[in-house]
């Protein structure tokens, strides 16, 4: 285990990873545990959550608290977390719901769930946890956004819009909370080799696709260095081209070629 004393001081003693049972969330939890910080991991799937908690605790010798809650229900999340008697110095919000398909075909309840998981809960959870961080004068917040949120992304239009919200929220909080000792970061990730992505893609990964562990590590290393990180050289170039060089219409057309095949 790599014990990073500066990281522990700034973001310990506990980090909360929302969506920490598998995929990118589990990769974040592992990267944090490797640095010697205790964990609270929260997700719906109790079996996956317990298995991840046991593995990380046994491997890295940190305390891992597993909390079963539905991220679409913030009141449930708040109730579960209010029972814990630990100080959370870092929030990593990775939970997401991605309605895929033509907007006309996506059920209303799927759109509502996307807003609850991707917008309402991270917003209110950041509010809930940032207060004690302000009192301690240190802490960190990482909100997962996406390159899809940089422009309209057909076939995942609502999901992309929620990711744009998280990026803008993180940028504003970065400026507000930095003087209070709190580092805020938006991770604008491209495609990530998670089980969910591989199932939705169903074919060859998109250019710039990264392993979850790489995204987690690059994101944590960027914490405290600015409001936005884009993991991966290919993705950095892609974001620059799409947002700085091309017209919005062209950027949307290009994104459609990458997202149109998702199902």
Span 228-239, pLDDT tens digits = 999 999 999 999
Specify the CATH number for the domain of residue 140: 3.40.50.720
Can you give the pLDDT of all 263 residues of the chain as single tens digits? 566 789 999 999 999 999 999 999 999 999 999 999 999 999 999 999 999 999 999 999 999 999 999 999 999 999 999 999 999 999 999 999 999 999 999 999 999 999 999 999 999 999 999 999 999 999 999 999 999 999 999 999 999 999 999 999 999 999 999 999 999 999 999 999 876 655 555 556 778 899 999 999 999 999 999 999 999 999 999 999 999 999 999 999 999 988 877 76
How far is CA 82 from each of CA 79, 116, 130, 261, rounded to the nearest angstrom? 5, 20, 14, 42
Strands 182-189 and 14-18: unpaired
Taking phi first (over 0 means left), then psi (-120 to 50 degrees means alpha), and beta for anything else, what does residue 203 get?
A: beta
Q: Where are the alpha helices (DSSP H) in the chain?
A: 5-11, 23-34, 46-60, 74-82, 108-115, 121-136, 157-177, 195-201, 212-222, 233-240, 248-259
262 Cβ contact list (under 8 Å, min separation 6):
100, 155, 156, 200, 201
Q: What is the pLDDT of residue 94?
A: 97
What's the domain range around 88? 5-259
Q: What is the pLDDT of residue 40?
A: 98
* Global model pTM greater than 0.75: yes
For 196, list phi and psi in degrees, rounded to 5: -65, -40
Q: What is the pLDDT of residue 261?
A: 73
Q: What is the pLDDT of residue 223?
A: 98
Rounded CA-CA distance 236/41 in Å is: 29
Task: Name the domain count of the chain.
Answer: 1
Q: What is the pLDDT of residue 226?
A: 95
């Amino acid at each position: 285990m790599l014990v990073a004393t500066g990281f522990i001081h700034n973001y310990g003693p506990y980090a909360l990873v929302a969506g920490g049972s598998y995929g990118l969330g589990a990769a974040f939890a592992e990267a944090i545990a490797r640095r010697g910080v205790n964990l609270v991991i929260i997700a719906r799937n109790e079996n996956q959550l317990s298995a991840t908690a046991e593995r990380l605790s046994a491997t890295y010798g940190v305390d891992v608290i597993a909390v079963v809650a539905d991220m679409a229900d913030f009141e449930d999340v708040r109730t579960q977390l209010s029972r814990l008697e630990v100080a959370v110095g870092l929030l990593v919000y990775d939970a997401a719901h991605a309605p895929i398909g033509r907007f006309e075909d996506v059920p209303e309840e799927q759109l509502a769930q996307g807003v609850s998981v991707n917008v309402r809960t991270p917003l209110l959870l950041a509010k809930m946890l940032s207060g004690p961080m302000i009192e301690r004068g240190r802490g960190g917040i990482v909100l997962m956004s996406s390159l899809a949120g940089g422009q309209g992304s057909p076939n995942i239009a609502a999901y992309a819009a929620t990711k744009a919200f998280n990026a803008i929220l993180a940028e504003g909080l970065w400026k507000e909370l930095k003087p209070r000792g709190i580092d805020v970061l938006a991770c604008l990730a491209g495609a990530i080799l998670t089980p969910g992505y591989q199932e939705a893609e169903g074919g060859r990964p998109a250019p710039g696709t990264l392993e979850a562990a790489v995204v987690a590590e690059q994101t944590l290393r960027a914490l405290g260095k600015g409001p936005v990180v884009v993991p991966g050289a290919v993705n950095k170039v892609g974001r620059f081209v799409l947002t700085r060089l091309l017209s919005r219409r062209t950027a949307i057309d290009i994104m459609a070629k990458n997202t149109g095949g998702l199902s």
